[in-house]
Amino acid sequence: MICRVILLVLLSAPALFAGQLGININFAERGGTFVDIVKEENRWNGADGSRPLGPGQVDRQGWPRVDAQFVVDYRPVAEWSGGIDDPAAYRIDASGRYKCSFVGSAEVRGIAGGSVRNKAYDPASNLTTFDFIVMGPPAANHGLIIIGFTKTRRTASGREGSGFRSFRMLRPGYSLSAKKTFTGKFISALTGIKFSTIRFMNFTMANDCDPDYPRQTKWANRKRKEDASQNRIPSLGKNDGAAWEYVIELCNLVKMDPWINIPVSADREYIRETARLFRANLDPGRNIYVESSNEVWNTAPGFGQSRYNKAQAKALGIGEHENHARRTVEIAGIFAQVFGREALNRRVRVVLCSHQPMLKWWVMPMLDYISRNYGRPKDFIYAIACQTYYGGGRGNGKNADEILTGCKSSIISQIDETGKTNEAGRRQWINVARRMGLAGGFCSYEGGPDHGGGDTANIANRIRAERDTRMGDIWKFNFDDAFFQIGGNLAMQFTLSSVYSRYGCWGLTDDIARPDRNGKYKAAKLLAEKCQAKAAPAAGSLKK
């Protein structure tokens, strides 16, 4: 009888999660992700620099078929229009000797930001090499680099103006024989914090990558490692970001779990082949989190997936939230076919995401829709998730102290929301996940300080507040006290790095070469260590 009572108490008790801290990464990180800078850029303009290259002016991989200019721009917001948001005018250091090469021949010159040295052409291999020198202080450029290629010949006997291919521009410190994909500074900043998971939404450019409904995204047209850039290539109709192979390579390298976003327009073959690629190449010890696109509820510019979801829902005769649920279950089913049904909610973790206020208006109807049409949500869905952002500081006349106080109040207001219209506090999300018996409970797909939006009001103080050591304490309060300690599971910071400007100060740092320059990165390092220490005894007890 006593044993039975204990068992009933255990079954009715809230799920206890050790808590895991994850990170969203950008494309590209502030200071560089790839050793080859060309992988991060796709700013190819015509020879006179007046307009981007369009269809017919690039080959099947995106390389110029005409004379062109290559553009890199690291300038602070908004220096190009005569002002800088950042009161410290902080700049990443882009100086140094870049080793460059391309297949073909051309006259090459530095138009902005640096100069060409040691140019050489080998007729036997049809390979041109050169160094591009970006000067350091006091003659440092402000982050704008333009290299001009004229009198191009793609082949040794080709016509003048026929372009070139396979351009590489390796960051200072790397030779043309370098085999590394990712920069040492990026890997150091990423692994300096014991993150469990990386969300690749920005890296693979899930936002606005879809065609108009009813067109679908095909596996054959996905981004490939050999494409001219891992950035969007609109001239080829490739509006996605980095190839899935790079996602797998990075996670295997840093030993972190991937969180991937499947385009809302991807057909079943695309989903199936993505699952097969991860099953075949991701280290077997790594879990994989899977989400249908990103923020399909978001109607703001740049979220074309919302329009696609609405159009598809209308065609199917269901609500847009129901279609999001249907699509999520569809993805779960395909991944289960590839990985095996037993992997679902274990190694394969499908997350149903929505906006924080929409618990009652989107999430509950989605879970009800799944129950009516497919069965228990916990048989398909690992967790439900929303954002854990906090604000404070967009108003005029606030100093840094008031901004920090506003941030703390913003967090506290989100913990509980009962008796109000939305009833969507973090505890309420946790309770829904618990009632549904979801293995992963309640997660956060993005979070951190959010007072951007493009508003320049009080921007200097907003940026100063982000760099204040006290912001680290507030950041920790948001993820620890107001999430992990009340029953949240996996929380994903947005992002590792970013410029600090009117559009937000999202990054834990604004320079991966100097990640500890503000309090948020340091706070994340300490919290991640705490999470790992808390998880270790639990993992050990399970093995027994």
Least confident of 1-15, 189-203, 463-477: 1-15
Residue at a domain's end among 170, 202, 235: 170
Residue 2 lies in a domain: no
447 and 529 co-located in one domain: yes
Helix and strand numbers (H, E) in the chain are 12, 16
Predicted confidence (pLDDT) at residue 323 exceeds the cutoff of 90: yes
Residues 6+ apart with CB under 8 A from 422: 357, 358, 359, 360, 361
Confidence at residue 139, expressed as pLDDT on a 0 to 100 scale: 57
Backbone angles phi, psi at 63, to 5 degrees: -85, 145
Residue 513 lies in a domain: yes
Residues 6+ apart with CB under 8 A from 210: 217, 239, 263, 264, 265, 293, 304, 305, 308
User: How does pLDDT run across 119-146, given as a tens digit for each residue?
Assistant: 999 999 999 999 999 987 765 667 899 9
User: How does pLDDT run across 92-114, given as a tens digit for each residue?
Assistant: 999 999 999 999 999 999 999 99
Residue 176 lies in a domain: no
Going from the C-alpha of 382 to that of each of 277, 283, 494, the distances in angstroms are 21, 21, 21
Q: How confident is the model at residue 8 (pLDDT cuts 50, 70, 90)?
A: very low
Pick the residue with more confidence: 413 or 540?
413
Confidence at residue 138, expressed as pLDDT on a 0 to 100 scale: 60
217 and 118 co-located in one domain: no
Residue 10 lies in a domain: no
Question: CATH no. for residue 521?
Answer: 3.20.20.80
Only one residue has tokens 């249908």, namely 292
Confidence at residue 397, expressed as pLDDT on a 0 to 100 scale: 60
Which two tokens mark 43?
């700013």
Q: How confident is the model at residue 455 (pLDDT cuts 50, 70, 90)?
A: confident
User: How many other β-carbons are positioned within 10 Å of the β-carbon of residue 97?
Assistant: 17
Confidence at residue 541, expressed as pLDDT on a 0 to 100 scale: 43
User: How does pLDDT run across 501-515, given as a tens digit for each residue?
Assistant: 999 999 999 999 999
192 and 162 co-located in one domain: no
Residue at a domain's end among 170, 201, 218: 170
Region 291-298: mean pLDDT is: 97
User: How does pLDDT run across 60-93, given as a tens digit for each residue?
Assistant: 999 999 999 999 999 999 999 989 999 999 999 9
Residue 492 lies in a domain: yes
User: How does pLDDT run across 199-252, given as a tens digit for each residue?
Assistant: 999 999 999 999 999 999 999 999 999 999 999 999 999 999 999 999 999 999
Q: How confident is the model at residue 52 (pLDDT cuts 50, 70, 90)?
A: very high
139 and 213 co-located in one domain: no
316 and 460 co-located in one domain: yes
Look up the pTM and report it: 0.95
The whole-chain average pLDDT of the chain stands at: 93
Going from the C-alpha of 390 to that of each of 171, 243, 279, 482, 523, the distances in angstroms are 36, 32, 36, 11, 16
25 and 55 co-located in one domain: no
User: How does pLDDT run across 336-364, given as a tens digit for each residue?
Assistant: 999 999 999 999 999 999 999 999 999 99
Predicted confidence (pLDDT) at residue 426 exceeds the cutoff of 70: yes
Residues 6+ apart with CB under 8 A from 102: 127, 128, 164, 165, 166, 167, 168
Confidence at residue 7, expressed as pLDDT on a 0 to 100 scale: 34
Give, rounded to a whole angstrom, the gap between the first and last alpha carbons of the chain: 25
241 and 108 co-located in one domain: no
108 and 241 co-located in one domain: no
User: How many other β-carbons are positioned within 10 Å of the β-carbon of residue 372?
Assistant: 9
362 and 500 co-located in one domain: yes
Q: How confident is the model at residue 427 (pLDDT cuts 50, 70, 90)?
A: very high
Residue 179 lies in a domain: no
Query: Contact at 8 Å (CB) between 452 and 393?
Result: no
Residue 175 lies in a domain: no
234 and 132 co-located in one domain: no
Predicted confidence (pLDDT) at residue 154 exceeds the cutoff of 90: yes
229 and 305 co-located in one domain: yes
User: How does pLDDT run across 407-417, given as a tens digit for each residue?
Assistant: 999 999 999 99
Residue at a domain's end among 110, 135, 170: 170
215 and 355 co-located in one domain: yes
Confidence at residue 393, expressed as pLDDT on a 0 to 100 scale: 67
Confidence at residue 419, expressed as pLDDT on a 0 to 100 scale: 82
Predicted confidence (pLDDT) at residue 11 exceeds the cutoff of 50: no
Confidence at residue 46, expressed as pLDDT on a 0 to 100 scale: 97
What 3-state DSSP class applies to 540? helix
Residue 494 lies in a domain: yes
Range of the domain at 73: 37-170
Predicted confidence (pLDDT) at residue 157 exceeds the cutoff of 70: yes
Total number of domains constituting the chain: 2
Query: Contact at 8 Å (CB) between 333 and 327?
Result: no
